């Protein structure tokens, strides 16, 4: 195979590769504007940590192979952290998460309207 023929085949392949890589590079350089009170923590193997002003940590793990979104909220409290006379506090917290607020009185209904299936364990 001649050098001219090799180069002729190489340029289209390089062009296709650049078409795929340039948007990725542009995405990496684009600054993401985080909401007020949210700071970005470390990223490890595609999982990025965000910290909210109220102390809640959010781990974002995009999975483009899935057609759905899964949200797991884990509070670092539970029955093993309850002291004497506090039995049931973790279970109460579970119910309070879905209780609602004046602006959002029916959290489970709002989640359902957006296609979510709320559940607590």
Instruction: List the domain boundaries for the chain.
Output: 1-30, 33-62, 67-121
Residues 116/109, Cβ–Cβ less than 8 Å: no
Percent of the chain residues topping a pLDDT of 90: 11
In whole angstroms, give the CA distance from residue 86 to residue 33. 41
Give the pLDDT mean for 9-17: 46
pLDDT at 58: 86
In whole angstroms, give the CA distance from residue 88 to residue 29. 48
Highest mean pLDDT among 18-27, 66-75, 86-95, 98-107: 98-107
Give pLDDT tens digits for 34-46: 889 999 999 999 8
User: How much of the chain is in helix, strand and coil states, percent to nearest 5?
Assistant: 40, 15, 50
- pLDDT for 13 beyond 60: no
Give the pLDDT mean for 101-114: 88
pLDDT at 3: 45
Highest mean pLDDT among 23-27, 56-60, 74-78: 56-60
> Who wins on pLDDT, 27 or 110?
110
Which tokens in the block code for residue 41? 């923590």
* Active site residues per annotation: 94
- pLDDT for 71 beyond 80: no
25 confidence band (pLDDT: 50, 70, 90): very low
Residues 95/120, Cβ–Cβ less than 8 Å: yes
């Amino acid at each position: 195979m001649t050098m001219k023929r090799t180069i002729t085949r190489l340029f289209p392949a390089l062009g296709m590769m650049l078409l795929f890589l340039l948007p990725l590079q542009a995405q990496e350089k684009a600054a993401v504007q985080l909401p007020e009170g949210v700071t970005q923590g470390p990223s490890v193997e595609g999982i990025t940590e965000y910290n909210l002003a109220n102390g809640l940590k959010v781990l974002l793990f995009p999975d483009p192979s899935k057609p759905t979104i899964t949200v797991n909220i884990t509070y670092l409290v539970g029955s093993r952290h309850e002291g004497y006379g506090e039995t049931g506090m973790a279970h109460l917290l579970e119910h309070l998460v879905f209780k609602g607020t004046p602006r959002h009185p029916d959290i489970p209904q709002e989640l359902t309207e957006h296609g979510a299936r709320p559940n607590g364990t």
